[in-house]
């Protein structure tokens, strides 16, 4: 049994007189201690999936429509709120893109860190809480931690704020850390520091990380496995080397080909994926990538492809991946 199992999960939002399914039968497992990447473009459902795992869907508009989320075998969507609160925070923690929105601007850093202990370990004496918060700030590489504990969030840089958020998330020694675009708002040299920190912390604590991002570079650097999402569905999932060396879904192929790369010759035309993602109100009944896919056939417009095994540990949701793969092999010889 995997640590976390996402099983045919569907999430719907009620809009004015309508229900839209933004996450559609998504499935993947997270093993203890691994780093799983979820990659996709805006609106692909990656963040909604994360919020659903955390039980943080906006109510009453958002709800789990079908499927299940199991943590150590325990089904999360129907847990009583107290039990879910215990899991969220103690067992599964989350960090976000903009820590400023998650930190309280009028409280000192020290108080916000101590609060997590008050919530989850109320019997801890003050002196012990202080020592632990200090230790946490040291652990996440914040210089002069005694001074930082007395400061307010706005006095810290973006990178330091994200370190504080990570410290808060680590306070309860979670089994899983969900990181939703935690470095997207940061400069690239600061991003490198935070990625390094996450790697180190994982080595120390053995926690699993679900890393959500639009950046395939970050995925390649940090993750051991990756789930590619498109328009609310899983398009492909594979071990990291496999996905980059041999992607089989036409969307993944297109995505990898359209990234500007440092080794490219300047001012050459990039490969593109034509068109745009279908809007959530007008999702096609067949494959959701069909309107942009160079290999589309009638079947693709008619039936949604199931996520099926392509090889060991590698799954793809495409009717035509075998044919496409054969053509690509012939064409590129790789």
Partner 1 sequence: MSTGSNEPLLRVRGLTKHFPVRSGIFLRTTGHVHAVDDVSFDLDIGETVGLVGESGCGKSTVGKTLLRLHEPTAGQVVFEGRDITTMGRKALRQLRRDIQIILQDPFESLNARHTVGKILEEPFVIHRLGTPQERRRWAAELLERVGLSPAAASRFPHEFSGGQRQRIGIARAIALRPKLIVCDEAVSALDVSIQSQIINLLLDLQREMHLALIFIAHDLAVVKHVSDRIAVMYLGEVVETATAHDIYASPRHPYTQALISAIPLPDPTADRDRVVLVGDVPSPIHPPSGCRFHTRCRHARDDCRQRKPELDSLRDGASVACHYWRGLS
Pick the binder of partner 1 from 146, 241, 303, 323 (CB under 8 A): 241
- Tokens 């012939």 sit on residue: 330
Minimum Å gap between C-beta 153 and partner 1 is: 15
Contact status: 159 vs partner 1 (CB under 8 A): yes
Contact status: 187 vs partner 1 (CB under 8 A): yes
Minimum Å gap between C-beta 66 and partner 1 is: 28
- Tokens 């049994």 sit on residue: 1
Is there a contact between 18 and 281 (Cβ–Cβ < 8 Å)?
yes
Residue nearer to partner 1 on the CB measure, 78 or 189: 189
Pick the binder of partner 1 from 106, 122, 144, 276 (CB under 8 A): 276
Minimum Å gap between C-beta 37 and partner 1 is: 10
Contact status: 238 vs partner 1 (CB under 8 A): no
Element at 32 (helix H, strand E): none
> Which residues within the stretch 209-228 sit at the binding site for partner 1 (CB under 8 A)?
214-221
236: nearest Cα among 147, 324, 313, 144 = 313
Q: Tokens representing 166?
A: 């990570």
Residue nearer to partner 1 on the CB measure, 152 or 244: 244
User: Which one of 15-23, 47-55, 268-276, 322-330 is the stretch in contact with partner 1 (CB under 8 A)?
Assistant: 268-276
37-46 b/e with 16+ CB inside 10 Å = b?
bbbbeebbbb
Q: How many CA atoms lie within 13 A of 117 on its CB side?
A: 19
Q: Report how far residue 180's alpha carbon sits from residue 40's, in angstroms, rounded to the nearest whole number.
A: 12
Q: Report how far residue 151's alpha carbon sits from residue 133's, in angstroms, rounded to the nearest whole number.
A: 14
Q: Site residues (CB under 8 A) for partner 1? A: 41-42, 157, 159-160, 187-193, 195-196, 214-221, 240-241, 244-245, 254-256, 258-274, 276-277
């Amino acid at each position: 049994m995997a640590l976390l199992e996402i099983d045919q999960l569907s999430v719907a939002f009620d809009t004015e007189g309508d229900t839209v399914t933004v996450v559609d039968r998504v499935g993947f497992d997270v093993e203890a201690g691994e780093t799983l990447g979820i990659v996709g473009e805006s609106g692909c459902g990656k963040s909604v999936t994360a919020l659903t795992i955390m039980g943080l869907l906006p109510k009453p508009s958002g709800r789990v429509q079908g499927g299940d989320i199991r943590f150590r075998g325990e089904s999360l969507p129907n847990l009583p709120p107290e039990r879910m609160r215990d899991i969220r925070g103690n067992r599964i923690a989350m960090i976000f893109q903009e820590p400023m929105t998650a930190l309280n601007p009028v409280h000192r850093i020290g108080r916000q860190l101590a609060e997590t202990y008050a919530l989850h370990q109320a019997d801890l004496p003050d002196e012990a809480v202080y020592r632990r918060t200090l230790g946490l700030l040291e652990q996440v590489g914040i210089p002069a931690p005694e001074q930082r504990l007395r400061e307010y969030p706005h006095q810290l840089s973006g990178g330091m704020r994200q370190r504080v958020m990570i410290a808060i998330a680590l306070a309860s020694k979670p089994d899983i850390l969900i990181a939703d675009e935690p470095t997207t708002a940061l400069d690239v040299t600061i991003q490198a520091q935070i990625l390094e920190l996450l790697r180190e912390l994982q080595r120390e604590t053995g926690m699993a990380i679900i890393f959500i991002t639009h950046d395939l570079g970050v995925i390649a650097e940090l993750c051991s496995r990756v789930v590619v999402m498109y328009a609310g569905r899983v398009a492909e999932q594979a071990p990291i080397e496999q996905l980059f060396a041999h992607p089989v879904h036409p969307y993944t192929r297109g995505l990898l080909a359209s990234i500007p790369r440092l080794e490219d010759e300047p001012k050459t035309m990039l490969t593109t994926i034509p068109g745009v993602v279908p809007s959530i109100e007008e999702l096609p009944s067949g494959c959701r990538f069909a309107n942009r896919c160079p290999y589309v056939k009638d079947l693709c417009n008619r039936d949604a492809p199931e996520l099926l095994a392509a090889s060991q540990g590698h799954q793809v949701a495409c009717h035509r991946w075998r044919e496409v793969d054969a053509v690509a092999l012939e064409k590129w010889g790789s």
